[in-house]
Amino acid sequence: MMVFLFASPLLNPVIIGLFVVTFSLKVAVFYFMIAMTVSVVAGYLLEKLGFERYVKPEAYEAVQSSGCGSSSSKASSCGTKEPAPATTSCCTAKPEPAVETSCCGSEPEVKVTTQCDGTLTATTVEPSRWVRIWHSTWKDFKQVLPYLLLGIVIGSFIYGFIPTDLIAKYAGEGKWYAIPVAAVIGIPLYIRAEAVIPLSAALVKKGMALGSVMALIIGSAGASLTEVILLKSLFKTPMIVAFVSVILSMAIGAGFLYNFMF
């Protein structure tokens, strides 16, 4: 899980392809090796250090709820559904089964059948699997939506007021702080990696060092403001701090290493 958390945004096949087309195969291979190595090592270390305890309980809610994934369970977190008591034909009143509403958001249907001897039996019919999946997905979406909207608003505002000339000015060649600045700028820039790579090509033409461009791409693709805000809905603060620290360290390290090697 931890390795996927880092590798998923950084090792997108589209990003690798754009690296080849925009820069060169050498740059793409360098980026791939750095991203893969850091993702595996960081994920392994965080898992060994027990950072999985910083995953919020809401992230496991759908998995742990057996009532949302198995209809054969007699008792689940979605509520206990007791079989309705059956009545014989000598009773005039029909059975009134007490059915609790499922936490998945869909009420089970009550079906009353009559046996050959006149006995009435009430059973509950569970909603279909796709209905349960839909309710679970909709519940997760509503939890994440406020964080998503907040990230879009803040990120769009920052993106609209940071011109490329300003980035090139403080992250150009010959400045020792260019790579750290580029890595930090990438986080609030709120640009998808598919868009920041063509933008980086323009920055290179304006005088930005390729090592700084590498740091900018890793920072914006790996730990953009929107992604951090979305992760905050799933992880506790120590996990978010560790995630951002790893991405920033990777961006800065990759930038300096590229300038040193090439």
Q: Annotate 46-108 with DSSP letters as a single string.
A: HHHTTGGGGB-THHHHHHH-GGGT-SS-SS-TT---PPPPPB-TT--SPP----PPPTTS-PP
Give the pLDDT confidence score for residue 148 in this predicted structure: 61
DSSP label of 164: H
Q: Annotate 221-247 with DSSP letters as a single string.
A: HHS-HHHHHHHHTTB-HHHHHHHHHHH
Residues in the chain: 262
Angstrom distance (rounded) from CA 186 to CA 219: 5
Angstrom distance (rounded) from CA 259 to CA 29: 15
Give the pLDDT confidence score for residue 156 in this predicted structure: 64
Structure-block tokens of residue 44: 């392994």
Angstrom distance (rounded) from CA 194 to CA 139: 30
Question: pLDDT per position in the chain (262 positions), as tens?
Answer: 678 888 888 887 878 887 888 788 998 899 999 999 999 999 899 888 888 888 877 666 644 544 444 444 444 444 444 444 444 444 444 444 444 444 444 455 555 566 666 666 666 656 678 888 888 788 877 776 776 676 567 656 655 676 667 766 766 666 778 889 888 887 776 666 667 777 777 777 777 788 888 888 888 888 877 778 778 878 888 888 999 999 999 999 999 998 888 7
CB contact set of 181 (below 8 Å; sequence gap of 6+): 170, 171, 212
Q: Which amino acid is at 35?
A: A
Which of 192, 165, 168 shows the shortest CA–CA distance to 181? 168
Per-state percent for the chain, helix, strand, coil, to nearest 5:
65, 5, 30
Angstrom distance (rounded) from CA 178 to CA 176: 6
Give the 3-state secondary structure of residue 176: coil
pTM, full prediction: 0.61
